[in-house]
Amino acid sequence: MAQDTSTSPASSALPPLLASLWVLLEAHRSAFRQERPYQRMVALVFGSLVAVARHTVTQLLLMLGLTDADWSAWYRLFSIPRLNYDALTRCFLQETLAEVAETEPYVAVVDGVQVPRHSRRMPGTAWLKNPRTPPWKPGAWRAQRFVHLAGLLPRVLGYSRALPLRWEPAFPEKAVRPAGMVARREWEAAHTAIGWLREQLDVAGRAAQRLLILGDGGYDVADLWRTLPARVILLTRTARNRALYALPTPETRRGAPRKYGERARTPAAWLAERTGWQRVTLEVRGRQVPVRYRAEGPFVVRKAATQPVFLLVVPGIDRQHRRLRRDPTYWLVSAVWQDDQWVLPLPAAEVLAWAWQRWEVEVCHRELKSGFGLGEMQCWGVISTVLATQWQAWLYGVLVLAGYRTWGLTGSPFTPPARWWGGAPRWSLGTLWRGYRQALWGTSDFRALWTGTGDTWRTKATWIAGIQNLLAGSLRV
């Protein structure tokens, strides 16, 4: 593959979206020891943008026109491997820091995600609970389990975006694990990812910046509370019957001091209180949402007495006439020691506003699996089966961050392809992919192939032949 490094594409007249993408790709050059693997990675990035079939390495190469080439070197990007994932994630984190002020907390989400597989011999696969089955009849499927650490962009009009920072494998004990593949529980992989992020913030000169981690109820684990890294704020959903204890009172008796006080109310018991509730209006996805809440504590949980927590209770809504229903939610947030007492690490309204944005990581998972082809790469070795999935998640983050730098969070020069809807205030991921393809293909002078009845089909022959050639190349085997 001939290399021409005399002129950087970023210096030429590129469309703004591609120019932002190229700057981001060049910022990750240090993750590759040689120039050729880096250029192959860049080619796969642009092949992913125009892929119309499965996002395998083979299909990406077919979209690039390499139908008669030797594909071995491309697969060695992930099997040898030719890229350093730790360096890749460090570079990407540095790029996200430019979007978050040091005076504001850096907000991230941890969440478990399963990548469905079909092989019973693929490394890392195990029988896991199928999330697609109903709760009253759970089923099993073959999948690999990862823990996703995603950074959240600053809120604008109640909107945010999740950017994948790390994908930590969390393979269970019963998974297919060749020599060297370690089994970890989900909270252990999350602990590793959180520690990595805190360490990287310190290395970047942001030791004083607060780190807020959001998680669902699966991370309300005593071992995670007890081993939480310093200068990390953890906010997790909790069960309605979670056992909480008051802080122990000082005593003069002999022996070891007590770790727990009296048993406190369960989170659901606070819903019966008539007084002590506070109100706040949160901006969520372009609309004002009134929220009623209460903050109680500090408390401690069993086996984690060294880390007090506060309880946030948000009652539900049941309005039949408006078809609006929302179940009560309960949150635990780690307390901080300030002025000789335990206090909330952030204002309760700020904590709840970010808790609402935790759903962005679910949006990220849906797009990665349904439209971006996460897990479709046919790289099934001990190293490549993990690295190929991690690379696809990194690519998604780079593409979204480039779109954010070009369009912002709520603006987009493209309108939906329909007359009956003017589009949402925030651009969708489908709009972002269309923007990339238009920038690559230069289709600003779009001509419709079907214009109703008429006798001008001979003039359309070249357009139809072009589309047929594109489909033939993408489906060639």
Residues 238 and 350 in one domain: yes
Query: Is residue 115 classed exposed, middle or buried when 0-12, 13-18 and 19+ CB atoms within 10 A define those classes?
Result: buried
Residues 346 and 410 in one domain: no
Residues 79 and 209 in one domain: no
Report the pLDDT value the prediction gives residue 6, as an integer from 0 to 100: 42
Residues 353 and 212 in one domain: yes
Could you tell me which residues come within 8 angstroms of residue 229 by beta carbon, excluding any fewer than 6 positions away?
A: 194, 195, 198
Residues 63 and 157 in one domain: no
Q: Answer whether residue 65 is part of any domain.
A: yes
Report the pLDDT value the prediction gives residue 128, as an integer from 0 to 100: 95
Q: Answer whether residue 251 is part of any domain.
A: no
Q: Answer whether residue 262 is part of any domain.
A: yes
Q: Answer whether residue 421 is part of any domain.
A: yes
Closest listed residue to residue 336, CA positions, set 310, 355, 314: 310
- What per-residue string of b and e applies to 182-196 under the rule 16 or more CB within 10 Å gives b? eebbbbbbbbbbbeb
Residue 34: how many CB atoms within 10 A of its CB? 9
Q: Answer whether residue 77 is part of any domain.
A: yes
Separation CA 316–CA 365 (nearest Å): 26
Residues 232 and 351 in one domain: yes
103 three-state secondary structure? coil
Q: Which residue has the tokens 């991230």?
A: 108
Report the pLDDT value the prediction gives residue 419, as an integer from 0 to 100: 74
Residues 75 and 179 in one domain: no
Q: Answer whether residue 466 is part of any domain.
A: no
Could you tell me which residues come within 8 angstroms of residue 255 by beta carbon, excluding any fewer than 6 positions away?
A: none
Closest listed residue to residue 349, CA positions, set 284, 267, 426: 284
Residues 397 and 321 in one domain: no
Residues 171 and 36 in one domain: no
Element at 469 (helix H, strand E)? helix 461-475
Residue spans of alpha helices (H) in 28-184: 35-50, 57-63, 72-79, 85-97
| Domain final residue, candidates 368, 389, 420 | 368
Residues 427 and 311 in one domain: no
Could you tell me which residues come within 8 angstroms of residue 432 by beta carbon, excluding any fewer than 6 positions away?
A: 399, 400, 403
Domain that holds residue 35: 16-85+379-441
**How many separate domains does the chain show?**
2
Q: Answer whether residue 109 is part of any domain.
A: yes
Separation CA 311–CA 294 (nearest Å): 8
pLDDT digits (tens, 9 = 90+) for 72-100: 999 999 999 999 999 999 999 999 999 99
Tokens of 316: 């539900």
Which portions of the chain are predicted below pLDDT 50? Answer: 1-7, 10-11, 453, 477
Residues 280 and 400 in one domain: no
| Domain final residue, candidates 316, 339, 368 | 368
Q: Which residue has the tokens 């060639």?
A: 476
pLDDT digits (tens, 9 = 90+) for 337-361: 998 899 999 999 999 999 999 999 9
Element at 449 (helix H, strand E)? none
CATH of the domain at 335: 3.90.350
Partner residues linked to 141 by β-bridges:
128
Separation CA 332–CA 358 (nearest Å): 14
Residues 194 and 57 in one domain: no
Q: Answer whether residue 130 is part of any domain.
A: yes
Report the pLDDT value the prediction gives residue 52, as an integer from 0 to 100: 76
